[in-house]
Structure 1
Amino acid sequence: MDKDYLKTRFEVEEFEKLKKKLVRYECALDIVRTQLSNLEAYYNNFEPVNPIEHIKYRIKSPESIAGKLKKKNLPITAEAAEEFLSDVAGIRIICAYAKNIYEIVEIIKSQEDFKVVSEKDYLKNVKESGYRSYHMILEVNIGKLFGEKTCRVEVQLRTSAMDFWATLEHKVRYKYDGKIPERLSNELQNCSRQINELDERMYLIHKVVDMINQSEVDIDRIGY
């Protein structure tokens, strides 16, 4: 990774164009935010447990957008950003357990205000680095005021443990300009496997506690 890419800037005219486009992304983000807020309200009021721990929303900064365009050897223009980048607007949903992620994915797919145009399951198909997450690209229609334009919004779904790992891996990758030493890379992969095992065991404990609460089963009788 070239750290100098963060110094890349849009020319003044392109920057003004980009600012207007970012308004559209904000609107798209708000549409998805509303649906997710409704979902959280439903879980909090009609279900015993809310599987969503928290949600983060962000719009990439112009510097970050310019840097990514440069990294992809694309022109640093507002039009190129709109055409080639799918993560200008981003949402990260942190779930309590890995199995909750697929439940939320199906709910997102069922929404009428936007459609899923691509998805990548890095839970079942773990990246070589050890990265685990579920990625979706949504296409959101932002309405008549904007000429029925659509904007893409990236959604990432992870557990808290996966999010902690991804944050650490990102810092390490940046430190070594994307070329992580083999020994450190192996340690990160090992941590990823252990985190996955921990997620599974925590979910098992959660289910056991549910069973006990529902039927007052003796924990020794169910062999845990």
Structure 2
Amino acid sequence: MQEEKTENGNADKPTEEFLREYARLKPLYSGALKTACSRFEILDDEFSFTHGHDPIHHIESRLKTPESCYEKLRRRGYGQTPENLKKLTDIAGVRVVCGYVEDIYKIARVFLNQHDVRLIRRKDYIEKPKPNGYRSLHLIAEIPVALSFVATVVPVEIQLRTISMNMWASLEHEVSYKAGAELKKSAFTELRSCADDLFSVEERMQKICGDIRALNERHTEEKGDEK
């Protein structure tokens, strides 16, 4: 996953106390990343066995740097104190890239139905894309991380998107951070059009895939009836 870039290049650097608190919390957030990634990998294996289909193409993860956390607290209007680190819910971030839109919702539903996962916030940018065409399903969920003597719940930001949504977002990221103002303006409409075109193609391919699965299931049932 791409790390956020700071908007203020002259922002103060994190204090020593802030860095110490980040270092103290880092094992928790690293553990949350590993736990979340492992659970999605297990779900992918289960779907592959039960449905003959791998819904997840790949998984990415990242931890915000202390500098990025410090800057985000400033942007949010929070005091840049060690105590306020825990107000950030996206220090640990996981991106789950799926083959089809229906895979996104299936995987998200099963993950959130696990008894020790608690949904904090959900933003569906697939149902309601951003003005520039960005699509993804965003979740903030708390999951338990088991340390030596106690389990602690930790928030994780989870982005679920398709392969084409991921490709589009990478291109949009390049335009946003590297292009000049004129290019950004001219590219905005084209990027939105590309996002809509890609989504339309995805819907068609998902229908083809669904038709093939239904046909295979009928063939399997017919063979079973013949025995």
1:23 to 2:27 alignment: yes
Contact in 2 for aligned 1:21/1:78 (Cα 8 Å): no
Instruction: Determine the C-alpha separation between the residues in 1 that align with 2:140 and 2:168.
Output: 22
Q: Are residues 6 and 189 of structure 1, via their aligned partners in 2, closer, same or farther at CA, if it must alter by over 3 Å?
A: farther
Q: Secondary structure at the match of 1:139?
A: strand
Q: Are residues 31 and 113 of structure 1, via their aligned partners in 2, closer, same or farther at CA, if it must alter by over 3 Å?
A: farther
1:36 to 2:36 alignment: no
Query: 2:106 corresponds to which residue?
Result: 103
TM-score for both structures, normalised by structure 1: 0.85
Contact in 1 for aligned 2:69/2:91 (Cα 8 Å): yes
Query: 1:219 corresponds to which residue?
Result: none
Query: 1:45 corresponds to which residue?
Result: 49
Query: 2:129 corresponds to which residue?
Result: 126
Q: Which moved more, 1:133-142 or 1:59-68?
A: 59-68
Q: 1:118-166, CA deviations, whole angstroms, 9 ceiling, x for partnerless residues?
A: 1111111111111100011111233474755321101110000001111
Q: Which residue of 63, 70, 93 maps to 1:66?
A: 70
Pairwise mapping of residues 1-224 of structure 1 onto structure 2 (< 5 A)?
3-5=7-9, 8-83=12-87, 85-143=88-146, 145=148, 148-176=151-179, 181-215=184-218
Letter in 2 for 1:101: I
Q: Are residues 18 and 61 of structure 1, via their aligned partners in 2, closer, same or farther at CA, if it must alter by over 3 Å?
A: same
RMSD between aligned residues = 2.5
Aligned length: 215
TM-score for both structures, normalised by structure 2: 0.84
Q: Secondary structure at the match of 2:17?
A: helix
Q: Are residues 86 and 63 of structure 1, via their aligned partners in 2, closer, same or farther at CA, if it must alter by over 3 Å?
A: same
Tell me the CA shift for residue 12 of structure 1: 1.6
Letter in 1 for 2:34: D
Instruction: Determine the C-alpha separation between the residues in 2 that align with 1:197 and 1:116.
Output: 30
Percentage of identical aligned residues = 30
Contact in 2 for aligned 1:5/1:71 (Cα 8 Å): no
Letter in 1 for 2:30: E
Contact in 2 for aligned 1:6/1:64 (Cα 8 Å): no
Q: Structure 1: where are the runs of 5+ without partners?
A: 217-224
Instruction: Determine the C-alpha separation between the residues in 2 that align with 1:178 and 1:78.
Output: 36
Q: 1:65-102, CA deviations, whole angstroms, 9 ceiling, x for partnerless residues?
A: 2232233233333322211x211001111110011111
Contact in 2 for aligned 1:120/1:134 (Cα 8 Å): yes
Contact in 2 for aligned 1:10/1:77 (Cα 8 Å): no
Instruction: Determine the C-alpha separation between the residues in 1 that align with 2:120 and 2:192.
Output: 30
Instruction: Determine the C-alpha separation between the residues in 2 that align with 1:128 and 1:179.
Output: 18
Letter in 1 for 2:98: C
Q: Are residues 178 and 124 of structure 1, via their aligned partners in 2, closer, same or farther at CA, if it must alter by over 3 Å?
A: farther
Q: Secondary structure at the match of 1:193?
A: helix
